[in-house]
């Protein structure tokens, strides 16, 4: 894709684009580094059917479903505005272009290249120097407290709620149960091991859901997929959240199950599960494992290029899901 026009609109004619390079990741959008002749860089996010590797990506998104795939400029812009207002660090925005004039088949955002000179992902920092990552984890824990403290009476995606919309479902718990049963059915159709254990897995979901009591007090903000690969570290050592399109008001337990899976031994540094509901953690733990089986298997139906990694994710979470109902 020619991003010359987007670069010119973002920075004016004083900076000439020397080239671009595609960055790894981004199953729902393209992520490209812009390389300028003056040595500077930026990152372009491109939302288009060609950049979305999920089957059915050309179908209209259901933003009333908080657990549906979150992709698009409108979701990104709403999430960025809210995080900026809360003082949560995200890449600075240079351009939001949904006009379709320069790129008729795509929406484009141009943002700060946090992982350029002087920065890296938290995942890479944890692998390279866990001691140096400790203060970043502490700052990320502070960020999580800010997000959970920003409450709303309803659950759902930011762009939907900001426009007065109402999410599907009678509660987050029922949404998660319904989605998990659908993921189970889909995964069972693709893997005989899940098919054999389908009854036990379904019983496990229903039993866990029945133990969850109604909740009062509103819903904090959750990222939804906050692994160390979705946190960059800037030159000042601050955590920077990326892939923010799925930001929503929801149960904090949904976030913390994912955090515990992705951060592993480092998870206690993010605050642990104190104050969280044990029954929701149990239900969401099994549900997310099933999602991390069904999702990668579904993605492999399409043309996603990093197929070995997706297969590994599915295998790892398949074993974990089965272990929960042994």
- Give the pLDDT mean for 98-122: 82
Look at residue 22 and give its three-state secondary structure: strand
Q: Count of alpha carbons within 13 Å of 265, Cβ hemisphere only?
A: 4
Rounded to two decimals, what is the model's pTM? 0.92
Q: How confident is the model at residue 53 (pLDDT cuts 50, 70, 90)?
A: low
Average pLDDT of the chain is 91
pLDDT one-digit tens code per residue, 134-173: 999 999 999 999 999 999 999 999 989 999 999 998 999 9
Answer whether 86's CB lies under 8 Å from 147's CB: yes
Q: What pLDDT was estimated at residue 119? A: 72
pLDDT one-digit tens code per residue, 284-318: 999 999 999 999 998 888 777 778 888 999 999 99
Question: DSSP for 291-323?
Answer: HHHHHHHHHTTTT-S-HHHHHHHHHHHHHHHHH
- Give the pLDDT mean for 239-265: 96
- CB-based contacts of 148, cutoff 8 Å, min separation 6: 220, 221, 252
- Give the pLDDT mean for 70-85: 94
Q: Is the per-residue pLDDT at 110 higher than 90?
A: yes
CA 156 – CA 222 distance, rounded (Å): 10
Look at residue 143 and give its three-state secondary structure: helix
Q: pLDDT over 90 for what percent of the chain?
A: 75
- CB-based contacts of 56, cutoff 8 Å, min separation 6: none
Q: What pLDDT was estimated at residue 151? A: 95
Q: What pLDDT was estimated at residue 57? A: 53
């Amino acid at each position: 894709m020619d991003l010359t026009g987007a670069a010119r609109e973002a920075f004016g004619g004083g900076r000439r684009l020397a080239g671009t390079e595609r960055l790894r990741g981004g199953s729902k959008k393209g992520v490209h580094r812009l390389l300028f002749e003056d040595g500077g860089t930026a990152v372009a996010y491109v939302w288009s059917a060609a950049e979305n590797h999920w089957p059915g990506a050309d179908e209209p998104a259901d933003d009333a479903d908080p657990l549906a795939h979150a992709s698009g400029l409108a979701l990104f812009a709403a999430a960025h505005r809210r995080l900026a207002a809360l003082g949560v660090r995200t890449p600075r925005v240079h351009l939001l272009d949904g006009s379709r004039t320069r790129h008729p088949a795509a929406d484009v955002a141009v943002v700060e290249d946090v992982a350029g000179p002087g920065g890296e992902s938290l995942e890479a920092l944890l692998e390279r120097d866990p001691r140096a990552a400790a203060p970043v984890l502490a700052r990320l824990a502070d960020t999580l407290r800010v997000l959970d403290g920003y409450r709303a009476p309803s659950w759902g995606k930011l762009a939907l709620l900001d426009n007065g919309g109402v999410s599907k479902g009678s509660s987050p718990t029922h949404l998660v149960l319904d989605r998990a049963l659908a993921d189970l059915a889909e995964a069972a159709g693709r893997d005989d091991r899940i098919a054999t254990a389908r009854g036990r897995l379904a019983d496990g979901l229903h039993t866990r859901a029945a133990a969850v009591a109604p909740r009062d007090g509103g819903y904090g903000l959750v990222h939804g997929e906050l692994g160390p690969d979705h946190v960059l570290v800037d030159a000042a050592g601050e955590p920077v959240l990326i892939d923010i399109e799925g930001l929503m008001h929801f149960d904090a337990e949904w976030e913390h199950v994912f955090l515990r899976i992705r951060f592993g031994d480092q998870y206690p540094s993010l605050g642990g599960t104190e104050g969280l509901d044990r029954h929701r953690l149990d239900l969401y733990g099994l549900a997310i494992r099933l999602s991390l089986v069904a999702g990668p298997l579904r993605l492999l139906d399409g043309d996603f290029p990093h197929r070995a990694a997706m297969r590994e994710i599915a295998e790892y979470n398949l074993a974990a899901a089965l272990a929960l109902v042994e």
